[in-house]
Structure 1
Amino acid sequence: MVLQNKIPQASAKRLPLYYRFINNLHIQGKTRVSSKELSEAVKVDPATIRRDFSYFGALGKKGYGYNVEHLLSFFRKTLDHDELTEVALIGVGNLGTAFLHYNFMKNNNTKIVKAFDAEPSKVGFDIGGIPVLHIDELEEKMQGIHVAILTVPSSEAEGITERLVNTGVSGILNFTPARITVPDNIRVHHIDLAVELQALVYFLKHYPLDEEGKKE
């Protein structure tokens, strides 16, 4: 992602969400959309959407809303959507296997192109059309790939991360509970599914929705 102006990270994280909805509108033949419609679709309040968009100048017109084709073109350029980013998956367990079958290419600019594991029943085979290589080949076969998804057991996360760092990766999407350590020039996004599930249950109990599905 290339941003001409430095914007808050929270805003930057919402850009792919906006793009997905706008792309769907374009596919449906819609020509314009209001911040209220965007808000209802992506579950972000209209004021936040307008503030996010304001970082990039005048993307819409008061009383008209936003031109879908213009927004789509803007976000494609902003998110480098026309430039494919190749990704490696490290750890082909249940979660990793699901990622390989799903992949991320649909309406996206990222694609898993290879996976690594040590399980003999998986190494040397294709899963979801993606070749699974032996983890011992990591340093050799990661050349040219700068983004990795980490789905290994927690006990192996730190060791694998050190090896990934040595291959020259720029970013790691960490699905393990381990909080891995990397140099300052490498970005890590942590996604702990167990924590997210616990948070969901907590909010369901303590922040119930009303009958219309709105937060009380």
Structure 2
Amino acid sequence: MNSKKKIPNATMKRLPLYYRFFKNSEKSGVDRVSSREISEALDIDSATIRRDFSYFGELGRKGYGYNVKSLLNFFMEHIQGNEVKNVAIIGAGNLGSALLNYKFSNINDRMNVVAAFDSNDEIVGTSINDTLVYHPDELEDMVSRHNIDVAILTLPAEVSQAMAERLVDAGIKGILNFTPIRLDVNDGIYVHNIDLSVELQALFFYMKHI
């Protein structure tokens, strides 16, 4: 990866789309693709794709395009990393259960959901899609025991900040936050916020102005 260039956030957000495209291309037996083919599949203009890739050096050749296997290996090594990331879902209610039933390996085979946590005694001790649901009292022990790196937070807003602090103290390095509040955590802990209400409002806005 070219460390001399600062990679824009917009480029970083497109990288998972590129990874999924190359992974699907490999599954389909495709050996090489052009920026035009990537553009048509992802609805991203070719110039943007070439600029995004330029941040990481020479990934393709003019007149040849991009080697699918090489690019897939690149994304796995330099963007995803070679280590498996263990993930916990905090809150196994409606949204948490839906996430537990989602096949994450379809988009990232370096992510392993190893535990879920919920205070509802009716589901503690049960399994959702082969993932055991633990009581929050066991959080710190399970984070340490399973080397959990990432937490997906799907709790009510009023308890999310306190849980985020517990997660950080337990050793979590990243949080995917589905709650409607902005979490206040230590520097060095990355929080990615997904507010479904904001995303829906943005969708309605774009629909209105098409």
TM-score by length of 2: 0.92
Aligned identity (percent) is 54
C-alpha separation between the residues in 2 aligned to 1:103 and 1:69? 23
Partner of 1:9: 9
Partner of 2:91: 91
C-alpha separation between the residues in 2 aligned to 1:161 and 1:137? 15
Partner of 1:203: 206
Once the 2 structures are TM-superposed, how far is the Cα of residue 133 of structure 1 from its aligned partner? 0.2
SS at match of 2:44: coil
**1:30 has 2:30 as partner:** yes
**1:115 has 2:116 as partner:** yes
C-alpha separation between the residues in 2 aligned to 1:73 and 1:21? 13
How is 1:1-216 mapped onto 2 (pairs within 5 angstroms)? 3=1, 5=3, 6-80=6-80, 82-108=82-108, 109-143=110-144, 144-206=147-209, 208=210
TM-align CA RMSD: 1.4
* Runs of 5+ consecutive residues of structure 2 not aligned to the other structure: none
Q: Is the 8 A contact 2:115 2:132 kept in 1?
A: yes
TM-score by length of 1: 0.90
Q: Read off the aligned partner of 1:183 and give its amino acid letter.
A: N
Q: Read off the aligned partner of 2:130 and give its amino acid letter.
A: G
C-alpha separation between the residues in 2 aligned to 1:60 and 1:129? 41
Once the 2 structures are TM-superposed, how far is the Cα of residue 81 of structure 1 from its aligned partner? 5.2
| CA deviations over 1:45-91 (Å, ceiling 9, x no partner) | 21111011111211111122112122122112113454211001100
C-alpha separation between the residues in 2 aligned to 1:100 and 1:84? 17
Q: Which moved further from structure 2: 157-166 or 79-88?
A: 79-88
What is the count of residue pairs matched by the alignment?
Answer: 205
C-alpha separation between the residues in 1 aligned to 2:72 and 2:63? 20
Q: Read off the aligned partner of 1:142 and give its amino acid letter.
A: V
Q: Is the 8 A contact 1:148 1:169 kept in 2?
A: yes
SS at match of 1:113: strand
SS at match of 1:188: strand
Once the 2 structures are TM-superposed, how far is the Cα of residue 107 of structure 1 from its aligned partner? 4.3
* Runs of 5+ consecutive residues of structure 1 not aligned to the other structure: 209-216
C-alpha separation between the residues in 2 aligned to 1:92 and 1:67? 41
Q: Read off the aligned partner of 2:112 and give its amino acid letter.
A: K
SS at match of 2:121: coil
Once the 2 structures are TM-superposed, how far is the Cα of residue 152 of structure 1 from its aligned partner? 0.4
C-alpha separation between the residues in 1 aligned to 2:55 and 2:82? 22
Q: Is the 8 A contact 1:103 1:112 kept in 2?
A: no
SS at match of 1:60: coil
Q: Which moved further from structure 2: 124-133 or 49-58?
A: 49-58
Q: Read off the aligned partner of 2:158 and give its amino acid letter.
A: S
